[in-house]
Amino acid sequence: MCPTGTSLWQARNISNLRSAFEVLDTDHDGKISREDLKTSYADADDEVIATMMTVADSNKDGYVEYDEFEKVLRSDNSGRGGVMADVFKTMDRDGDGKVGYGDLTSYLSSAGFDVNDDEINSMLGLGAVDGGADGITFDEFLKILAV
């Protein structure tokens, strides 16, 4: 059963977001801290962690509560997807509404990541219905983030 005005996909997405939030909340205190992110993203440097916190911690209390986490990841009522839609649009270099092999390779290279073909294909295959052969849509992108 979906809350009034909420589609089935939105209800499932909210459930997936809750699961993703709980994975990142490593100490299970109901909020994501810098320490939680350092545990979850062991390879990320302090600058990356600080950026993640800056983007998500809208009330600037030093923690990301679920409502802040959800605002960063979900689409709002205007159909605009917020921060993650902006990230997706940046990654979608050719503007076709999907992030394909070339888009992802170009984006990761410009971001300073050294990845090989197998890693790119694995990333695309995570959320794509067709295994990522034609790229991933924004909805599939959100599913990957919620894993």
Query: Contact at 8 Å (CB) between 19 and 146?
Result: yes
Record: fold of 82-146: Recoverin; domain 1 (1.10.238)
> Could you read off the pLDDT of 64-111 as tens digits, one per residue?
999 998 887 765 544 455 667 777 888 898 889 899 889 988 888 887
Instruction: Supply the DSSP string of 72-114, one letter for each residue.
Output: HHS--TTS--HHHHHHHHHH-TT-SSSB-HHHHHHHHHHTT--
- Spell out the domain ranges in the chain: 8-73, 82-146
What is 8-73's CATH number?
1.10.238.10
Measure the CA–CA gap between 105 and 26, rounded to whole angstroms: 31
The pLDDT of residue 57:
92
Measure the CA–CA gap between 8 and 4, rounded to whole angstroms: 11
Q: Please tell me if the domain spanning 8-73 has the same topology as the one spanning 82-146.
A: yes
Q: What is the pTM of this model?
A: 0.52
